[in-house]
Amino acid sequence: MSGTVHVEVQGGLGILTLDRPRALNALDRGMVRSVSKALRRWRDDDGIRAVLIRAVPGRAFCAGGDIVGVVETAKTEGAAAAAPFFFDEYRMNWRIGNLGKPFIALLDGITMGGGVGISVHGSHRIATENTLLAMPETGIGFFPDVGGSHFLPRLPAHAGLYLGLTGERVDGATATRLGIATHFVPAASLPALEAALVDGEGIDAALARFADEPVPGGLDAVAIDRLFAAASLDELLAGLARDGGAFATGTLETLRQKSPLSVAVTFEELRRGAGLDLAGCLAMEYRLVHRFLEGHDFPEGVRALLVDRDKQPRWQHATIEAVNEAEIAACFAPLVGGDLEFDWQPRGEDD
């Protein structure tokens, strides 16, 4: 089942509407390319003052990328055949971050993985009471991509490391307090907000009218800041085990259920990403993509969690501690032919 992105212009506002509700608006390659093509066209169009991305009414803004299809391609045709999906997706992420115009995302519903990537690099990210946001990749034998290595290390109080390693879900209020979302607007007010933007009201003025303060609560920021300030993954695991409190114990149990390789690589990915710009982070992630497409845990995680749904993945390593430094380093090794580079040049007739 392929998806659709409706592309339209109203009142100087470029509007992208994700329309694949039965798949929770998961992004296939055609959808990614449609968004990227529209951004390229609108970037230098003086008649477009801002871009708005939303989804058709339903449960989700965007639940991620269509990774089941990607993994199947890798299994039948090889990693090189599956990698172009990520090339297109990461270029789209980069274009959002470098659009040079306001990019407004309405995160009304499930927003995970690729759904975060198609929004978080824009200037205005609007959460609602329906928002359920996560980067759940370590649970499927993958790693936080779509620029996760850029935005997660920049969240306050080590919350990004916690979210990236555990895949923990947060609501719209928590996402706003962390800065993943920039504003919190009740879902009932979104149509009026959209109408105001189409009518030409300034973005900041419109948001000042419709945004609410997010409610307190959510993550235990104090415990996360204390426990996830560790300089190494071994130190982090030891600290969780030593603490013995309910939060630490539950977090350690959660990490033990994830792919050991994914947890180890993600810790290093976010450490490196803290010192890179968005393009550098996406290029690094593209290296990792190739290694994970060629490896064991990503196909196995997709099988166990999304295909057979037995929720019994058989990971390559028995424990996180069993992953050695050489294996981690190999995942970050340069690609033959050089790293991914990003630009605004079209790549074929459909871009």
Catalytic (active-site) positions: 65, 114, 137, 145
Cβ(210)–Cβ(174) under 8 Å? no
Distance CA 332, CA 329 (A): 5
Distance CA 282, CA 276 (A): 9
Here the tokens at position 252 are 């350690």
Distance CA 140, CA 306 (A): 9
Q: Name the residue among 124, 120, 121, 119 with its Cα closest to residue 104.
A: 124
Cβ(34)–Cβ(61) under 8 Å? no
Here the tokens at position 153 are 């290390």
Distance CA 22, CA 239 (A): 42
Query: Cβ neighbours of residue 179 under 8 Å, at least 6 residues apart?
Result: 155, 156
Which H/E stretch holds residue 81?
helix 79-97
How far, in Å, are 112, 126, 169 from residue 64 at the CA level? Answer: 5, 17, 14
Q: What are phi and psi of 218, to 5 degrees?
A: 90, -130
* Beta bridge mates, 51: 14, 103
> CA triplet 1, 290, 323: central angle to 5 degrees?
115
Distance CA 57, CA 75 (A): 34
> CA triplet 333, 338, 342: central angle to 5 degrees?
115
How far, in Å, are 37, 38, 91, 92 from residue 347 at the CA level? Answer: 10, 13, 11, 12
